[in-house]
Amino acid sequence: MTERESLLAEESLIVRHSGEIPEIAFHGSLYYLCEDPAGPTLTLNKTELDLLRQQVVARYREILLRDLNPENRDARIYRGLRRCIFNWERLGKFCLRQGLAVEDLHQEIADALRSFLRQETNEVLAGLRHSCLNCTEEELTTFAKEMEVGPEELPEGLGMLFCPQS
Protein backbone atom coordinates (compact mmCIF):
# COMPACT_ATOMS: atom_id res chain seq x y z
CA MET A 1 0.00 0.00 0.00
CA THR A 2 1.40 3.39 -0.96
CA GLU A 3 1.56 6.26 1.51
CA ARG A 4 -1.30 7.97 -0.36
CA GLU A 5 -3.45 4.84 -0.15
CA SER A 6 -2.62 4.50 3.53
CA LEU A 7 -3.61 8.11 4.24
CA LEU A 8 -6.90 7.69 2.37
CA ALA A 9 -7.65 4.40 4.12
CA GLU A 10 -7.04 6.00 7.51
CA GLU A 11 -9.24 9.02 6.77
CA SER A 12 -11.90 6.75 5.30
CA LEU A 13 -12.01 4.84 8.59
CA ILE A 14 -12.25 8.07 10.55
CA VAL A 15 -15.24 9.21 8.47
CA ARG A 16 -16.90 5.78 8.60
CA HIS A 17 -16.64 5.52 12.36
CA SER A 18 -17.33 9.16 13.14
CA GLY A 19 -20.04 10.34 15.49
CA GLU A 20 -23.57 11.48 14.84
CA ILE A 21 -22.77 13.96 12.06
CA PRO A 22 -20.41 12.18 9.64
CA GLU A 23 -20.22 14.99 7.10
CA ILE A 24 -18.26 17.00 9.66
CA ALA A 25 -15.63 14.23 9.75
CA PHE A 26 -15.75 14.17 5.92
CA HIS A 27 -14.93 17.88 5.70
CA GLY A 28 -12.29 17.50 8.40
CA SER A 29 -10.66 14.73 6.39
CA LEU A 30 -10.79 16.81 3.20
CA TYR A 31 -9.15 19.70 5.00
CA TYR A 32 -6.42 17.50 6.47
CA LEU A 33 -5.71 15.66 3.22
CA CYS A 34 -5.87 18.65 0.87
CA GLU A 35 -5.42 21.99 2.67
CA ASP A 36 -3.84 21.59 6.10
CA PRO A 37 -0.24 22.85 5.95
CA ALA A 38 0.66 20.03 8.36
CA GLY A 39 -1.16 17.48 6.19
CA PRO A 40 -0.08 15.75 2.98
CA THR A 41 -1.66 18.48 0.74
CA LEU A 42 -3.04 15.99 -1.77
CA THR A 43 -5.28 16.69 -4.73
CA LEU A 44 -7.91 13.97 -4.56
CA ASN A 45 -9.30 12.42 -7.71
CA LYS A 46 -12.99 11.53 -8.16
CA THR A 47 -12.48 7.91 -7.04
CA GLU A 48 -10.77 9.02 -3.85
CA LEU A 49 -13.47 11.62 -3.11
CA ASP A 50 -16.18 9.05 -3.80
CA LEU A 51 -14.58 6.68 -1.28
CA LEU A 52 -14.87 9.32 1.44
CA ARG A 53 -18.40 10.30 0.36
CA GLN A 54 -19.54 6.69 0.53
CA GLN A 55 -18.23 6.44 4.08
CA VAL A 56 -20.52 9.33 5.05
CA VAL A 57 -23.48 7.50 3.49
CA ALA A 58 -22.47 4.24 5.20
CA ARG A 59 -22.27 5.95 8.59
CA TYR A 60 -25.65 7.62 8.12
CA ARG A 61 -27.12 4.26 7.11
CA GLU A 62 -25.86 2.77 10.36
CA ILE A 63 -27.27 5.67 12.41
CA LEU A 64 -30.66 5.59 10.66
CA LEU A 65 -31.06 1.84 11.00
CA ARG A 66 -30.00 2.01 14.66
CA ASP A 67 -32.89 4.36 15.39
CA LEU A 68 -35.35 2.26 13.38
CA ASN A 69 -34.41 -0.98 15.12
CA PRO A 70 -37.04 -1.84 17.75
CA GLU A 71 -34.44 -3.77 19.75
CA ASN A 72 -32.62 -0.49 20.44
CA ARG A 73 -35.61 1.40 21.87
CA ASP A 74 -34.53 0.97 25.48
CA ALA A 75 -30.79 1.16 24.86
CA ARG A 76 -28.52 4.13 25.62
CA ILE A 77 -27.61 4.41 21.93
CA TYR A 78 -31.22 4.95 20.85
CA ARG A 79 -31.99 8.50 19.72
CA GLY A 80 -35.57 8.08 18.54
CA LEU A 81 -37.62 8.70 15.47
CA ARG A 82 -37.23 12.47 15.59
CA ARG A 83 -33.43 12.13 15.38
CA CYS A 84 -33.87 9.61 12.57
CA ILE A 85 -35.91 12.18 10.64
CA PHE A 86 -33.28 14.87 11.22
CA ASN A 87 -30.51 12.51 10.13
CA TRP A 88 -32.39 11.61 6.94
CA GLU A 89 -32.67 15.33 6.19
CA ARG A 90 -28.94 15.84 6.86
CA LEU A 91 -28.07 12.92 4.61
CA GLY A 92 -30.33 14.30 1.89
CA LYS A 93 -28.63 17.70 2.03
CA PHE A 94 -25.19 16.09 1.95
CA CYS A 95 -26.14 13.95 -1.05
CA LEU A 96 -27.59 16.95 -2.87
CA ARG A 97 -24.41 18.97 -2.32
CA GLN A 98 -22.21 16.03 -3.35
CA GLY A 99 -24.33 14.87 -6.30
CA LEU A 100 -25.04 11.45 -4.77
CA ALA A 101 -28.10 9.26 -5.24
CA VAL A 102 -29.19 6.85 -2.53
CA GLU A 103 -32.23 5.04 -3.93
CA ASP A 104 -31.25 1.69 -2.41
CA LEU A 105 -30.82 3.26 1.00
CA HIS A 106 -34.12 5.11 0.58
CA GLN A 107 -35.90 1.78 0.10
CA GLU A 108 -34.06 0.14 2.99
CA ILE A 109 -35.00 2.98 5.35
CA ALA A 110 -38.62 2.93 4.15
CA ASP A 111 -38.83 -0.81 4.85
CA ALA A 112 -37.25 -0.34 8.29
CA LEU A 113 -39.72 2.47 9.06
CA ARG A 114 -42.71 0.29 8.15
CA SER A 115 -41.42 -2.55 10.31
CA PHE A 116 -40.54 -0.29 13.24
CA LEU A 117 -43.95 1.40 13.27
CA ARG A 118 -45.77 -1.91 12.98
CA GLN A 119 -43.89 -3.41 15.95
CA GLU A 120 -44.11 -0.24 18.05
CA THR A 121 -47.86 0.05 17.48
CA ASN A 122 -48.53 -3.62 18.16
CA GLU A 123 -46.52 -3.65 21.39
CA VAL A 124 -47.96 -0.39 22.75
CA LEU A 125 -51.56 -1.31 21.93
CA ALA A 126 -51.01 -4.73 23.55
CA GLY A 127 -49.83 -2.98 26.72
CA LEU A 128 -46.32 -4.42 26.48
CA ARG A 129 -44.56 -1.04 26.55
CA HIS A 130 -45.00 2.71 26.51
CA SER A 131 -44.60 4.46 23.19
CA CYS A 132 -41.11 5.68 22.35
CA LEU A 133 -42.31 8.00 19.56
CA ASN A 134 -40.63 11.34 20.19
CA CYS A 135 -41.88 13.17 17.11
CA THR A 136 -45.20 14.73 16.25
CA GLU A 137 -47.75 13.02 14.08
CA GLU A 138 -47.15 15.71 11.46
CA GLU A 139 -43.38 15.09 11.47
CA LEU A 140 -43.92 11.36 11.08
CA THR A 141 -46.51 11.80 8.33
CA THR A 142 -44.17 14.11 6.42
CA PHE A 143 -41.26 11.67 6.84
CA ALA A 144 -43.39 8.69 5.80
CA LYS A 145 -44.52 10.57 2.70
CA GLU A 146 -40.91 11.44 1.83
CA MET A 147 -40.01 7.77 2.28
CA GLU A 148 -42.93 6.86 -0.02
CA VAL A 149 -44.71 5.04 2.79
CA GLY A 150 -48.36 5.74 2.10
CA PRO A 151 -50.98 6.37 4.79
CA GLU A 152 -52.53 2.99 4.00
CA GLU A 153 -49.20 1.34 4.95
CA LEU A 154 -49.11 2.92 8.40
CA PRO A 155 -50.42 0.68 11.18
CA GLU A 156 -53.93 1.14 12.46
CA GLY A 157 -53.87 2.78 15.87
CA LEU A 158 -50.59 4.61 15.26
CA GLY A 159 -52.24 7.96 16.02
CA MET A 160 -52.79 6.87 19.63
CA LEU A 161 -49.03 6.62 20.22
CA PHE A 162 -48.21 10.31 19.92
CA CYS A 163 -47.88 12.52 22.97
CA PRO A 164 -50.40 15.36 23.03
CA GLN A 165 -48.85 18.60 21.78
CA SER A 166 -49.33 21.69 23.94
Half-sphere exposure of 146 (CA within 13 A, CB side): 14
Residue 131 in contact with residue 143, Cβ under 8 Å? no
Please tell me whether the overall predicted TM-score, pTM, comes out greater than 0.75 for this model: yes
Domain ranges of the chain: 1-60, 68-166
What is the three-class DSSP state of 110?
helix
What confidence category does residue 164 fall into, taking pLDDT thresholds of 50, 70 and 90?
low
- pLDDT one-digit tens code per residue, 14-47: 999 988 899 999 999 999 999 999 999 999 999 9
Tell me what pLDDT residue 101 has. 93
C-alpha span between 93 and 87 (Å, rounded): 10
C-beta separation of 92 from 142 below 8 A:
no
- Tens of pLDDT, residue by residue over 78-103, are 999 999 999 999 999 999 999 999 99
